[in-house]
Structures are given as C-alpha cells and as structure tokens.
Amino acid sequence: MLSKSYCKLRLVLLDFDGTVVDTMSFYTEEAARIISRYTGISLEEARSFYRSTVGRAFREQLRLAGVPSSRLEEAARVFEEWKKKLLVGIELHPDLVKLILLLRRSGLKVFVTTNNECSVVSRAPRLTSVFDKVLCYDKVERKWKGKPHLEEILLMGFRLEEVLFVGDSSYDIELYRKLGVKTLRTRGLWDKSDEAYRFLEELAISRLEKCRT
C-alpha cells in the first residue's frame, strides 16, 4: 500500500498524446512528412528528429528542424488541420475512463496538459466530461505545457507538492521534475498492465481507504 503522504496529493496532471490517447505513431508519420517537405531532409531523418524532440510544441520542433521562419506558421497549420481530422475519430479507452473516474471519486482532480492547440483538442470527444480541466496550447495567451500550465495550476490554489505529473516522454518527465513536480512515467494509460496505470489505481484505492479515516 502507498504511504500516507499521498493523501496530500490533490491533482493528477496527465500528458495527452502517448499518455491519454495512442496517437504518437500517427503523429510521427505525418510530422515527418511535413518536416521533410519544408526542410528537404529525408523522411527517415525527419522521423528520427521528431521522435527525439517529442514533448516540445510543434512550432518549436519545426524551428529546431530548420523550417524557415517565413514558412513556419504555414507548416504548423498543415499539421493542426490534419490533427483535427484525426482526433474527431478517437475515443478514450474504457479502462482509462474507469481509472480517471476512480481517481476523481477518491477526491483528486484530474487535468490534461498538452501542446496540442486548443482548437485541435476541442475535437477530441469526451475530454471535458471525463477530465476536470484540459490545459492546451494558446500562442496568443502564451500558455503551453510546462511552466505556463503549471503557473496556471498554482493560480487555481494548488501547491507544487500537491501535483503528480504523468507522461510518456523523457522530455516531459524531466521538464516537470525540474519545476519541482512529482512525476510518473507511463507507456500509455489505455493499458491496464502498465505500471503507471496500476500505481494510479492503487493510489485511488488507498486514498478511498486511508485518506478519509
């Protein structure tokens, strides 16, 4: 069983792609095509580059890949429009929904943090009904995954020690760890055999048994 210290947690913060939804293989192929098209590098090189920079905002990935600044917004919009069509057809796995509802029943808030644009994420079905809040990418408001989203969370009244971040990429884990947040690595929370899934399930059950006594 988990230690009593986990009773102090108030928020589970979940990454989106690769953690909540199994989209990364689709994203890698489309992103590689776009990066190759706008930079001239091979598809193989573009795939490798995209995988090595997963977790960053796509505009940042494009910039690092060498897409000319004059064409960066155009390339980003191509990816955004493609993602909107993809996410319309994506359903949350029933086991994930069950886990999220169990966490919420245990008294935890469950947020999603993503560098997908808000207009893109809004196409994903059931997000607003299953999760307490979805924090997305907004260039104008200067809100994105990492410090800006964390600052938004702190303004809601949460403290750093009350937050647990769950993600699938090394970049994200290191990002939130450096910001002082507890972290947990996953291969995808749609898989009940995943260690992070089992940990979160145990967390919720322990809270229901211990934290209210």
- The per-residue pLDDT for range 132-180, each reduced to its tens digit, is 999 999 989 999 999 999 999 999 999 999 999 999 999 999 999 999 9
β-bridge mates for residue 13, sequence order: 111, 165
Q: Give the confidence band of 213 by pLDDT, cuts at 50, 70, 90.
A: low
The chain-wide mean pLDDT, for the chain, equals 93
**Residue linked to tokens 């947690």:** 9
| 4-22+92-210 classified as CATH 3.40.190.80 | no
* Alpha carbon distance 33, 68 (integer Å): 16
Q: How far is CA 11 from CA 58, 153, 183, 191, in A?
A: 26, 9, 12, 21
Q: Which residue has the higher pLDDT, 151 or 128?
A: 151
Residue 15: CB atoms within 10 A of its CB come to 24
The distance between the two most distant Cα atoms of the chain, rounded to a whole number of Å, is 62
Token pair of 14 as six digits: 């979940």
Q: What is the mean pLDDT of residues 65-90?
A: 93
Q: Give the confidence band of 6 by pLDDT, cuts at 50, 70, 90.
A: confident
Which among 141, 210, 151 is positioned nearest to 13, based on CA atoms? 151
**Could you give the percent of the chain with pLDDT greater than 90?**
78
Domain spans of the chain, in order of start: 4-22+92-210, 24-88
